[in-house]
Amino acid sequence: MAVHPARANDRAHDTWHLVWASLTRADVTGLVVYVVLSLAAALAGGIAAVALVPLIQPDHVWPIAARISGMEGGMAMRVAVFAVAMGSFAWLRWQAARCGARQISAYGMRLRRQVHARLIDASLGSLADATSAEIAHVLTHNVEVIVQGLSALQQLLLAGLTCAVSLGLALWVSPPLAFAAPLLAGVGLLASRLFGREQSEVARQYVADMTRLFWHSEDFPRRLRHVRSFGREDAEKAGYADVSARLGHGYRRQLELVASGRLVLELLAALGISGIFLFAQRWRGVDQASVIAVCLLLGRLLPYLVSTRQSFQQLRSAGPALELRERYMRMPPALASTSATPTGERRDALHVERMNVVPPMPGILVEHLPLIPGEMTLISGDSGIGKSSLVDALAGMAAPQGFKARAGGHDIDFDDYRQRVRNSAYVSQSVRPWQRTVRECLHWADPHASDEVLHGVLKDVGLDLRLSTSRQGLDTDLHSSSSRLSGGELQRLLLAQVILRQPYIALLDEATSALDTASELRVLAALKARLPHTVLIVVSHRLGVAALAEQQLDIGGGQSAALTRRTSREQEPSGRRTMHS
């Protein structure tokens, strides 16, 4: 399929614009320093190449020789000039590579932190159409593509500067040989084997850290509710930043190893060729010197020419990746954060007089819903009918279209309601722990809990016997094939977090779906016993849960909600109100 030249040019222009727009002032400064160092390295390399000519043909008068200090001296002086120029080139190129590595590392770390922080702060509505796979891609590989684009830009600048300077100075030199390419292949093979073991270790660690980023990214919309309800946004940002820093260090180290390998080769070349020149001069081995001269001239250009096409491809790939990132960076923020309510304070009952939740259409209208600490409310209804949307509103994470409530005999608006329920715990069906061990998972909810407390909450949710069979105990690895917990056990672990949290309101959106009926009732009964000052809201399809609930809110097929209030745990309702949508 033919591509119109104008459209191709527009896409190329957009890519350059997006890459340039993603750079901060510090990035631009670093790029300028990189260009200056690369230009100086190219000039030093060109001077080294020109300095070869008097060594190869000592009796020939070159016009440029008079402009280079030492070229009109003896052979020892000429060799010294070449050695200094070649050493300067190697050192400047090494410094340029290190500068570029630092810039790439900082650039990638900043992009990861920015997009992750924006997602943590994004509204749930803006994430409704985003898939977990796309979000995981945005947080991981997409940033890699962008970073590779900036690295490709650096390589293109380096290739352009080196070729321009080398070809310009090469006009003064007439290469005596044209068949030095096989030697270049040998040098390339040697370069590929230098620092190979450390590069492999760094690459493996890089993959491991990237996998940890995936665990931080999986099923992000549901997990975000969990993070916010526990008030752990800052801890999540700090943990993600720590992994990002390790990734940045790994990426920088990979680039530095490449640069170090090149430094070793070029220094060895400088010393070796200098020695060969002296040896050839004594034994009049002019032909050998000519071969070395051609290798240096062509060897500096060919690697850049070979990599230019790949660099352009990487730079073009960065355009769509930046567009995807910008789409997520433009997501509207969530409702303004409120300060967490201290445990034990303002735990009075709430009475939702009226709440209209949309979506789904035409909406769910709930009236006269009491939320009393120590009591359980069961929300039931068919799948896809809007139970999760209702729970989002009850959690204070999504604003309803209409809201009226009372607390302590006074009317409150939704902002006041959100502040009262800020000390919360939200656990949904498909959230899986992303921490490494059981201990880390529980300490995420309560960093100061002792081992005795941790064992206590594990016993409450029925995980104590399972962990007693593991030699690692609280340090059992959650992702190891030999100790991996089942889906039901992972749900028990998340419910243990809720007990540690001791929230004002706990919202369990099918958080016991992986348990059998009897286990579900036992765990929910334990939660009620351990959370006497918590409003417990449970979404479940199992009617048996109603035996534990003081009230049941059933969302019917016509988007009407019916509330059944009980005076005891028996199944006989004491009253029934029907709420129309």
Pick 228 or 215 by higher pLDDT: 228
35 alpha carbon, distance to own chain's centre: 29
Segment 377-428, tens digit of pLDDT: 999 888 878 888 899 999 998 889 889 999 988 999 999 999 999 899 999 8
Q: Which two tokens stand for residue 492?
A: 């028990």
Are 9 and 310 within 8 A, CB to CB? no
pLDDT average, residue stretch 371-379: 94
Find out whether 396 and 421 touch, Cβ atoms under 8 Å. Answer: yes
Region 1-6: mean pLDDT is 43
pLDDT in tens, 144-179: 888 988 888 888 888 888 877 766 665 555 444 444
The answer to which of 317-326, 522-531, 537-546 has the lowest mean pLDDT is: 317-326
* Gap between the Cα atoms of 116 and 131, Å rounded: 15
Residue, of 577 and 91, whose pLDDT is higher: 91
More confident residue, 358 or 14: 358
Please compute Rg for the chain using Cα positions. 34
> Residue 286's pLDDT is what?
44
pLDDT higher than 80, residue 312: no
Q: What is the predicted pLDDT for the residue at 271? A: 66
pLDDT category of residue 359 using cuts at 50, 70 and 90: confident
Q: Quick one: pLDDT at residue 85?
A: 87
Residue 306 has pLDDT above 50, yes or no: yes
Q: How far is 298 from 45, CA to CA, in rounded Å? A: 12
- Domain 350-565 in the same topology as domain 8-330: no
Least confident of 36-40, 358-362, 392-396, 485-489: 358-362
For residue 519, the model assigns a pLDDT of 92
| Residues in CB range of 120: below 8 A, 6 or more apart | 224, 227, 233, 236, 237
Give the Cβ contact number of residue 342 at 10 Å: 9
If pLDDT is split at 50, 70 and 90, which confidence band does 450 have? very high
Per-residue pLDDT tens over the stretch 49-68 = 777 767 766 665 544 455 56
Strand pairing of 505-509 and 535-539?
Answer: parallel
pLDDT value of residue 445: 93
- Burial of 283 from C-beta contacts in 10 A (0-12 / 13-18 / 19+): exposed
Domain 350-565 grouped into CATH 3.40.50.300: yes
pLDDT at 128: 75
Q: First-to-last CA distance in the chain?
A: 53
**Local confidence band at 277 (pLDDT 50, 70, 90 cut-offs):** low
Paired tokens of 159 = 């290739």
Q: What is the pLDDT of residues 428-437, one digit of tens each?
A: 887 888 888 9
Q: Does the pLDDT of residue 571 top 60, yes or no?
A: no
Per-residue model confidence (pLDDT) at position 577:
37
Per-residue tokens: 361: 């259409």
Is the Cβ–Cβ distance between 478 and 484 less than 8 Å? yes
Q: Running DSSP on this structure, what letter comes out for residue 575?
A: E
Per-residue pLDDT, 4: 46
Q: Fold for 8-330, please state it.
A: ABC transporter transmembrane region fold (1.20.1560)
Q: What is the mean pLDDT of residues 131-144?
A: 79
Mean pLDDT score of the chain, rounded to an integer?
78
pTM: 0.70
**Three-state DSSP class for 284?**
coil
The percentage of the chain sitting over the pLDDT mark of 90, rounded to a whole number, equals 27
pLDDT at 285: 45
Asked which of 291-300, 310-319, 571-580 is least confident by mean pLDDT, the reply is: 571-580
pLDDT reported for residue 279: 55
The span from the CA of 187 to the CA of 180, in Å, is 11
d(CA 113, CA 90) in angstroms, rounded, equals 35
Indicate the domain borders of the chain: 8-330, 350-565
Tokens for 398, please give them: 């999504």
Q: Does 10 have pLDDT greater than 60?
A: no
